[in-house]
């Protein structure tokens, strides 16, 4: 029987370490002068070791000293390493053999952040949710585990988002107050930043200071420009949706606007007042100050100042600069041409031509030609002209009257008109009147044609 005696505590510790290494070592494990040869294992043998033991081995396949972390993963032992206490977050240059790719591995609930001196404002963060990319101070500060696939770049961009999905916000405070909205694309400084609103869905907003004071519930709008739709408010009437707004100042002040197209500084609401009711619906305004009061429904205004002052008129078509400019409440008018029905406030009129019906304010009338009916009065009138001084043809629809100015010329014909009605007149070339051209009128079916 042999007894081991140790002169010092260090000798005892060294002997225990040697015994523990020998338990897992290969036959070539040995103590040599000046050092300790670690267990020499192939990768296959290494992977067969139990997890979580914190073992250190020499991998003969990869020719490197490796250690095992608490999760059972193996890492090369280098001069220095960056790894957290539980070993699931680290920096590696060879996650796979001879990969030569630098990786920042972030696992579990850990997050990657970059900040000034380790204590300054957050500059970059990968959240714990799938697919979120956040870059900037204060971005995505309220992200919850269900928020996914958001991209936020810029200081406080998407700052309050919590459960929103698939949003893209680029710019300082872009989409800052949105918490649950989905599928928005917001590009520009301080756009969609109303601090009283919490959700927007499927909007595209491009430009600075857009949609700043809105309230909740903007849906499926396309808004492009500067200072556009800044007060596109939804409160208290519901949702503002499906608007296309493009150009400086377009649709600046409107409540519950729906399905409008405002392009080129149109629909600005010149008084800057928000209004109630059902809000503008289905309007198209293209041109500076077109449909500027931003009211009414299903109007089309194309041209500078077209339907500029419209308040409650619906179903109007104004094409041309200043067409139907001062119409306030008229409905279902069609004005085509610069200045057409400019001063009018009537309804159910058709005016085609430059300054046609310029000062006309009646109803149910048809005015055709440059300046036709500019000074006409009354309802149900007809004017066809090429200047303001006289009409070639005029009439009254309510009394079935037509006046043709000066000369009426009928072209002689060989046969009478087919399917005539009482009162039909034509000029016979003589074929039916003994060779003499004659004006004839149709009396009725029993009398037939008579010479005049």
Are residues 415 and 400 part of one domain?
no
Q: What are the φ/ψ torsions at residue 286 (nearest 5 degrees)?
A: -130, 115
At residue 348, the pLDDT reads 98
Are residues 415 and 403 part of one domain?
no
Are residues 369 and 441 part of one domain?
no
pLDDT digits (tens, 9 = 90+) for 142-159: 776 677 888 999 888 888
Whether 344 maps to a domain, the answer reads yes
- What's the mean pLDDT in 38-59? 86
Whether 41 maps to a domain, the answer reads yes
Min mean pLDDT across 67-71, 105-109, 242-246, 257-261 is at 105-109
Are residues 418 and 364 part of one domain?
no
Whether 246 maps to a domain, the answer reads no
Contact 284, 268 (CB under 8 A): no
Where does a domain end: 38, 65, 84?
84
Min mean pLDDT across 4-13, 177-186, 245-254, 365-374 is at 4-13
Are residues 352 and 425 part of one domain?
no
Are residues 399 and 416 part of one domain?
no
| 2 against 10, higher pLDDT | 10
Contact 179, 193 (CB under 8 A): no
- What's the mean pLDDT in 394-413? 86
- What's the mean pLDDT in 90-109? 73
At residue 231, the pLDDT reads 63
Whether 60 maps to a domain, the answer reads yes
Are residues 413 and 392 part of one domain?
no
Are residues 39 and 29 part of one domain?
yes
Where does a domain end: 84, 115, 131?
84
pLDDT digits (tens, 9 = 90+) for 306-324: 999 998 999 999 999 999 9
Are residues 365 and 417 part of one domain?
no
At residue 80, the pLDDT reads 60
Strand 204-206 to 222-224 pairing: parallel
Could you give the C-alpha distances from 190 to 122, 205, 210, 234, 293, in angstroms and in order? 19, 11, 7, 19, 26
At residue 161, the pLDDT reads 84
Domains identified in the chain, total number: 3
Are residues 449 and 395 part of one domain?
no
Are residues 383 and 350 part of one domain?
yes
Quick one: what percent of the chain has pLDDT higher than 70?
A: 76
Q: Is the pLDDT confidence value at 18 over 60?
A: no
Whether 443 maps to a domain, the answer reads yes
At residue 19, the pLDDT reads 46
Could you give the C-alpha distances from 139 to 90, 132, 144, 175, 449, in angstroms and in order? 24, 11, 13, 10, 90
Whether 155 maps to a domain, the answer reads no
Contact 247, 225 (CB under 8 A): yes
> Is residue 102 very low, low, confident or very high in pLDDT (cuts 50, 70, 90)?
confident
Contact 303, 320 (CB under 8 A): yes
Q: Is the pLDDT confidence value at 122 over 60?
A: no
At residue 145, the pLDDT reads 67
Are residues 70 and 37 part of one domain?
yes
At residue 137, the pLDDT reads 78
Q: Is the pLDDT confidence value at 117 over 70?
A: no
Min mean pLDDT across 28-42, 130-144, 226-240, 424-438 is at 226-240
Whether 367 maps to a domain, the answer reads yes
Instruction: Name the residue range of residue 428's domain.
Output: 409-452
Q: Is the pLDDT confidence value at 280 over 90?
A: no
CA 436/CA 50 separation, integer angstroms: 124
> Is residue 439 very low, low, confident or very high in pLDDT (cuts 50, 70, 90)?
very high
Mean pLDDT, the chain, integer: 80
Where does a domain end: 33, 64, 84?
84
- Nearest in space to 421 (alpha carbons), one of 388, 400, 447: 447
Whether 366 maps to a domain, the answer reads yes
> Is residue 248 very low, low, confident or very high in pLDDT (cuts 50, 70, 90)?
confident
> Is residue 213 very low, low, confident or very high in pLDDT (cuts 50, 70, 90)?
low
- What's the mean pLDDT in 372-394? 92
């Amino acid at each position: 029987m042999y007894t081991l005696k140790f002169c010092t505590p260090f000798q005892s510790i060294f002997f225990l370490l040697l015994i523990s290494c020998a338990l897992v070592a290969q036959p070539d494990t040995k103590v040599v002068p000046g050092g300790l040869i670690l267990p020499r294992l192939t990768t296959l043998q290494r992977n067969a070791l139990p997890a979580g033991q914190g073992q250190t081995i020499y991998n003969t396949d990869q020719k490197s000293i490796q250690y095992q972390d608490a999760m059972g993963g193996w890492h090369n032992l280098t001069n220095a390493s960056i790894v957290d206490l539980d070993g699931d977050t680290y920096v590696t240059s060879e996650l796979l053999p001879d990969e030569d790719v630098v990786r920042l591995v972030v696992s579990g609930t850990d997050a990657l952040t970059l900040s000034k001196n380790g204590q300054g404002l957050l500059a970059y963060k990968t959240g714990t949710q799938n697919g979120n990319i956040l870059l900037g101070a204060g971005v995505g500060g309220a992200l919850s585990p269900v928020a996914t696939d958001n991209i936020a770049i810029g200081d406080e961009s998407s700052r309050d988002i919590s459960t929103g999905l698939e949003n893209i916000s680029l710019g300082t405070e872009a989409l800052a107050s949105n918490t649950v909205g989905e599928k928005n694309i917001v590009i520009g400084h301080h756009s969609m930043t109303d601090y009283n609103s919490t959700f927007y869905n499927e909007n595209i907003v491009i430009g600075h200071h857009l949609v700043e004071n809105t309230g909740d519930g903007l849906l499926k709008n396309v808004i492009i420009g500067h200072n556009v739709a800044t007060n596109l408010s939804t409160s208290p009437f519901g949702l503002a949706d499906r608007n296309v707004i493009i150009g400086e100042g377009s649709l600046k002040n409107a409540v519950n606007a729906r399905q409008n197209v405002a392009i080129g500084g149109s629909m600005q609401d010149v008084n800057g007042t928000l209004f109630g009711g059902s809000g503008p619906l289905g309007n198209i305004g293209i041109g500076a100050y077109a449909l500027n009061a931003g009211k009414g429904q299903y109007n089309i205004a194309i041209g500078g100042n077209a339907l500029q002052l419209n308040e409650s008129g619906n179903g109007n078509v104004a094409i041309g600069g200043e067409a139907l400019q001062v119409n306030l409440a008229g409905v279902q008018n069609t004005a085509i041409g610069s200045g057409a029905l400019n001063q009018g406030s009537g309804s159910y009129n058709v005016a085609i031509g430059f300054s046609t019906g310029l000062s006309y304010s009646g109803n149910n009338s048809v005015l055709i030609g440059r300046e036709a009916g500019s000074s006409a009065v009354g309802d149900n009138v007809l004017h066809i002209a090429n200047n303001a001084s006289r009409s070639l043809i005029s009439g009254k629809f309510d009394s079935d009257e037509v006046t043709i100015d000066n000369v009426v010329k009928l072209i002689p014909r060989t046969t009478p008109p087919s399917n005539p009605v009482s009162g039909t007149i034509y000029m016979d070339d003589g074929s039916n009147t003994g060779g003499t051209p004659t004006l004839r009128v149709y009396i009725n079916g029993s009398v037939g044609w008579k010479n005049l």
